[in-house]
Amino acid sequence: MRKIIQTDQAPAAIGPYVQAIDTGTSLHLSGQLPINMATNDIPDNIEEQTKHSLKNIRAIVEAAGYDFSDIIHCTIYLTDMADFSAVNEVYGQAFPEGAYPTRSCIAVREIPKGARVEIEALAKKDH
């Protein structure tokens, strides 16, 4: 089974890709930009950007019938590693302590729309 997941509660894809694909046991999310869905803008500070990327991930995960706690891996892309600590602070609050997913953090030159952070995720259901 391969099901495309789309929700208007998270930013639409800005290229030839989908928000997520549900395989039936795992959910593969495309990278989420920190777009504030209420204003359609990207906040200036890294803390707010991180919050909005995670909020958009949560919306997609829930639209697919998964729970945020089903996330088993995240990849974070940053345009400036000086933001690493601030991102960790916000990211750490999004998950229950002791239930963090695995994670990678990669420095990149640019992120679309001038964002400073983009986060992609993988969720898995236990059956």
| pLDDT tens per residue across span 104-118 | 999 999 999 999 999
Average pLDDT of the chain to the nearest whole number: 97
Residues above pLDDT 70, as percent of the chain = 99
State residue 96's pLDDT score. Answer: 86
Rounded mean pLDDT of 6-30?
Answer: 97
Residues with Cβ within 8 Å of 42's Cβ and at least 6 positions away in sequence, in order, are: 33, 34, 35, 36, 49, 52, 113, 114, 115
Rounded mean pLDDT of 83-91?
Answer: 98
| pLDDT tens per residue across span 24-49 | 999 999 999 999 999 999 999 999 99
Can you tell me the distance from the alpha carbon of 116 to that of 108, in angstroms, rounded to the nearest whole number? 9
Identify whether the C-beta of residue 28 lies closer than 8 Å to the C-beta of residue 21.
yes
